[in-house]
C-alpha cells in the first residue's frame, strides 16, 4: 500500500495515540495530496487548535480557508454544526441560533453523547459530498484529524447508535447517510498513526495495511509509522507543516 493509493479515497480519517504526531501525519498527507493537484480539505475536530500551529496561520474556524495552494483548512465544532443542520433541515436561521444556545441541546447531548459526534461527522460528509455548478465534487479529498485511538471507536460508532435512538425523521436520515459514508471502503479509509518500536532501528517506510479498526466502520484501516509520505518529500519549508507532538 503506497501513499498514492491512500490518496485515491474520498475521505481519510487519521487517528493515533495522542501526542505522537497524529496531527502532523494528517497535515503532511494533506500537503502531499494538494501537491499532486488534488483539491483537499483538512478538517480539525475537538477544538485542539493544532493545525494553525503546524501551518503558522490564524486560528481555524467553521469557515474553510486556503492555507496552501489547493489545500483548504477548517475547524468543525458541534455548535456550528448543529446550527447549520437546523438551518438545512428546518430553514429557521434565527431559531437555530436560539436552539443551539438553549439547555435543550445540552440535555440532548448529555442523554445521547453520540449526537455530538454525528453532527461533527455530518459536517465532514457535507464537505465530502459538496458539488460545484458543473456537477463535479468541490473537493477531491477530505482529510480529518480525527479523535485519538482512545475515543475513535465510539466516534465511528456514533451514527449507528444514533440510528437506533432516533427512530424515523431527519436525524435518523442524517445518521444513516454518515454511516453509509464511513462503511464504504472505496470512499473512506482510516489511518492509524503509530510510533516505531524503540528496539532496533527500522527505516521509515510507507503506510502498511493492518486489520480493521471496527467490523462496522470504517471497513479498512492502515497502520502508519512516523515518517513523511514519499510524495511530500522535497517540499519547501513554506509548504511542509512543522512537526509537533
* Model confidence pLDDT, tens digit, residues 16-49: 988 878 999 999 999 999 999 999 999 998 878 8
pTM of the model: 0.75
CATH number assigned to the domain with residue range 3-77+118-232, chosen from the 4 options 1.10.357.10, 3.60.20.10, 3.55.40.20, 3.40.50.300: 3.40.50.300
pLDDT at 6: 86
Sequential DSSP letters for 148-213: PHHHHHHHHHHHHHHHHHH-SSHHHHHHHHHHHHHT-TTTEEEEEE-PPPSSS-------EE---S
pLDDT at 242: 61
- Model confidence over 179-228: pLDDT tens digits? 899 999 899 999 988 776 555 444 444 444 433 334 444 444 454 545 44
> How far apart (Å, rounded) are the C-alpha atoms in residues 140 and 133?
15
**Domain extents for the chain?**
3-77+118-232
How are beta strands 221-224 and 208-209 bridged, if at all?
antiparallel
Per-residue pLDDT at 123 exceeds 80: yes
> How far apart (Å, rounded) are the C-alpha atoms in residues 81 and 76?
7
Amino acid at each position: 500500500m503506497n501513499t498514492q493509493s491512500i490518496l485515491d479515497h474520498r475521505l481519510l480519517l487519521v487517528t493515533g495515540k495522542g501526542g505522537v504526531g497524529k496531527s502532523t501525519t494528517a497535515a503532511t498527507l494533506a500537503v502531499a495530496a494538494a501537491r499532486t493537484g488534488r483539491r483537499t480539505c483538512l478538517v480539525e475536530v475537538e477544538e485542539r487548535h493544532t493545525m494553525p500551529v503546524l501551518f503558522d496561520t490564524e486560528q481555524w474556524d467553521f469557515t474553510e480557508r486556503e492555507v496552501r495552494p489547493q489545500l483548504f483548512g477548517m475547524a468543525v465544532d458541534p455548535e456550528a454544526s448543529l446550527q447549520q443542520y437546523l438551518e438545512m433541515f428546518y430553514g429557521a436561521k434565527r431559531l437555530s441560533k436560539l436552539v443551539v444556545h438553549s439547555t435543550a441541546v445540552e440535555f440532548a447531548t448529555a442523554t445521547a453523547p453520540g449526537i455530538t459526534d454525528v453532527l461533527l461527522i455530518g459536517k465532514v460528509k457535507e464537505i465530502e459530498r459538496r458539488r460545484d455548478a458543473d456537477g463535479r465534487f468541490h473537493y477531491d479529498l477530505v482529510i480529518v484529524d480525527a479523535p485519538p485511538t482512545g475515543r475513535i471507536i465510539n466516534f465511528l460508532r456514533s451514527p449507528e447508535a444514533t440510528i437506533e435512538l432516533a427512530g424515523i425523521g431527519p436525524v435518523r436520515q442524517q445518521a444513516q447517510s454518515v454511516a453509509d459514508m464511513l462503511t464504504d471502503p472505496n470512499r473512506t479509509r482510516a489511518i492509524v498513526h503509530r510510533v516505531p518500536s524503540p528496539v532496533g532501528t527500522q527505516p521509515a517506510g510507507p503506510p502498511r495495511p493492518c486489520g480493521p479498526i471496527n467490523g462496522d466502520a470504517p471497513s479498512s484501516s492502515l497502520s502508519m509509522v512516523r515518517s513523511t509520505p514519499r510524495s511530500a518529500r522535497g517540499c519547501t519549508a513554506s509548504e511542509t507543516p512543522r512537526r509537533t507532538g
